[in-house]
Chains A and B, each alone.
Chain A
Amino acid sequence: MSYQNPKIPEGINVTDEHPLKDFFSMLLGVGLLAALFFLALSFIAEKLVVYIPFETEVVLAERMTEGMSESPDEDSDPHQLRVESYLQTLADQLAITQQLPENMPITVHFVKSDTVNAHATLGGHIIIYSGLLEKMPDENTLAMVMAHEIAHIKNRDPIIALGRVLTVSLAMLSILGAGDSGFSDQLVSRIGQLTMLSFSRKQESLADELALETLTEHYGHTGGAETLFSIFEDEERITMPAFLRTHPVTESRLNNVKEFSAKQAVAQSHENRPIPDWVVEDCAPANETDVKETDEKKSAPEKIK
């Protein structure tokens, strides 16, 4: 027996395959499977989450907004309170017109901020920013915003959005957590933020539709709706590109309004009800520096624009 060490050829334990090819094929495969899985999961979540009673949602909202309440000086500001009560009255009237169930109370919050926006969140809370109110030419336009937000609440959109986000993030955590790498944390935070983009376009369209019906029933015509979307169109020119928005592009919303008005065959000659002068005065930028970041980041916000 002769002892020798022959030269061992290369490539027995190491493949020649390019590491990037391997990496991207895995990424594609995993990505596709994950996308399918999470789509299915969020679909199921959306279907099931509506069975959570509204009362539970209210409790949930209280727990989430704990410690995030507005500062006391804002609460005690008489102007603020007057505007808020005006908005509340309008919301209550529209809620009745929209036949909102008895157990779904709407709470309107008026927040001083330059943001031209309004959103509906969990527990029937609607937040209207002074930036938006300042831009409203009449009550009908404001009612369109309000009716849109109330429609979201009627359709349970905030809790559906929350259910989707929570389910997807939790599933991500449990799946990737098992793979014990910091990778999971990074992915979860990233996907979580993406899905946080609130309501789907379908939800927005439905809310628009319901709002238009409400407006017709309440005022007898859809005046104000068109004005609202032309205001948004102006605003949009200085904001982000269309693909980042969840709302149907304003132009198509404007067309929807026109179509709706034509279908209803309502007289287009109408008079819009003005917003009371004192509201206009009260929401004037008296203390514009009083913008609170925390208010803008309230849970699962819904953007009207």
Chain B
Amino acid sequence: MAYLDLILFVTLLTLGYVVGQWLEKKHFRSIMEREERYRKLLTFNERFPPKGLKSVNVELVGGNVVISIDYFKRIAAGLRGLIGGRVTAYETLVERARREAILRMKESAHNKGASMIINVRLETASIAKGQKQQIGSVEVYAYGTAIIPG
């Protein structure tokens, strides 16, 4: 029975690594491509619009994303939790979530015909579920004020 457990463990680990890495690479490619597409839509964390804007509409725009860890990342982070240091397994996860949330916000603003988004803020939350909270997800919500030239 011990061998069966071990085989299951290694299989899940391998599966988590192969599939997780593939999805992550794919996601990063998509993020870079879309970031390039919406580069003209400027985003700032300034609270006030640049001076000299005349007759604009403003609207709240937001983008939200939840990304889950895979089995491999969980084990890697668990090991890291024993010795401490940079949890690289989670860093990529959070990076993806942050950029994806901003992109979704930009997409929404783009559809409204906005020229820029000001006062951009990010909110994060962690979602953990399952026995002993072994399945972790990160939520990032990006929101800001879209400036729509009227």
Contact = CB atoms under 8 A, between A and B. Distances in A.
Interface of A: 1, 3-5, 7, 10, 13-15, 17, 19-20, 22-23, 26-27, 29-30, 175-176, 179-183, 185-186, 189-190, 193-194
B79 A19 contact: no
Given A3-B50, A7-B39, A14-B92, A19 B74 contact: no
Contact of A19 (B5, B21, B42, B130): B21
A169 to B, nearest CB: 14
> Binding site of B, secondary structure by majority: helix, strand, loop or mixed?
helix
Contacts of B72: 19, 23
Interface of B: 1-2, 5-6, 9, 17, 21, 32, 39, 42-44, 50, 72, 74-76, 78-83, 86, 88-89, 91-92, 94-95, 116, 130-134
Nearest to A181: B78
B91 A179 contact: no
B132 A181 contact: yes
Given A14-B95, A19-B21, A26-B83, A183 B39 contact: no
Given A183-B75, A183-B78, A13 B95 contact: yes
A179 B78 contact: yes
Contact of B134 (A5, A17, A20, A182): A182
A29 B83 contact: yes
A182 B95 contact: no
Contacts of B80: 26
16 contacts: A3-B44, A7-B39, A13-B95, A14-B91, A19-B88, A19-B89, A20-B17, A23-B76, A30-B79, A30-B82, A180-B133, A181-B81, A181-B134, A182-B130, A183-B134, A193-B1
A245 B116 CA distance: 72
Contacts of B88: 14-15, 17, 19, 22
Nearest to B2: A193
A1 to B, nearest CB: 8
A206 to B, nearest CB: 28
Contact of A179 (B17, B21, B82, B95): B82
